[in-house]
Amino acid sequence: MEKHVIIVAGGKGTRMNTEVPKQFMELAGKPLLMHTTEIFFRAGNTPASLVIVIPRQHKALWGKLCHKHHFQVPHKVVEGGPQRFFSVRNALSVIGKNGLIAIHDGVRPSVSPDVIKRCFEAAEIYGNAVPAVAVAESMRRIFSGKTKVVNRKEYLLVQTPQTFRADLLHNAYQAPYREQFTDDASVLEHSGVAVHLVEGNKENIKVTTPGDLLFAEWLLSKSRPVE
């Protein structure tokens, strides 16, 4: 079954307080987004197609970075939308309804190849696969200006790549946008399809803050020598 990959890198990275969005910032020798993209080409996991979603105003920057770093991973570039939902919908417009589609955050450069393989394998069997990990910290719920402890065993942290049978994903994204569509699994669930969870990896953090960037760079330096 054909494997397709969408890497969503449409964010502005406002919490970084930098002019350049976080997905284009360099760490361990190259832009973060390049590290993320290359994961899907390791260990023979070459997808049938790979689509990177980038804000319109940064497409030229991405082109310059690809030239500077001699980045030769084959991919298509589509423009991002005002929300992730529309960015993914734009990417789906250049992918057919056959095979499997994995959707990954461009700022998660430390996903394990084993997790990618696990997601594709489970999606082929169950129609979808969403990686998740247990919550290690204590949690409290906010309500009416107060807080109350909750049982962390009842919660999971959801990651990407969220992987789907292509026809199910295309059908789910026919729905009108809703604010509760915070990820692709929530869109699929809204269409009436149950979400199937698989084990993720704790290192698969989403780089959001400067501290995350430092941690991601340390992870990359341990796992991938600078070329």
pLDDT digits (tens, 9 = 90+) for 24-34: 999 888 999 99
What pLDDT, on the 0 to 100 scale, is given for residue 104? 98
What's residue 13's pLDDT? 53
**Rounded Cα gap, residues 10 and 193, in angstroms:** 26
Q: What's the pLDDT at 18? A: 64
pLDDT of residue 122: 98
> Domains in the chain, start-ordered, CATH in brackets?
3-223 (3.90.550.10)
Give residue-wise pLDDT tens across range 192-203: 999 999 999 999
Backbone angles phi, psi at 132, to 5 degrees: -150, 155
Strands (E), the chain: 3-8, 26-27, 30-31, 49-54, 76-79, 100-105, 128-134, 139-143, 146-150, 156-158, 162-165, 197-199
- The tokens of 195 are what? 């979400």
C-beta atoms surrounding 195 within 10 Å = 18
First to last CA, the chain: 33
- pTM of this structure: 0.93
Contact, 201 vs 223, CB < 8 A? no
Rounded-to-integer distance, Cα 109 and Cα 45, Å: 16
Task: Please give the pLDDT value at position 27.
Answer: 87
Which residues of the chain are modeled with pLDDT < 70? 11-18, 43, 223-227
Per-residue confidence (pLDDT) for residue 65, from 0 to 100: 97
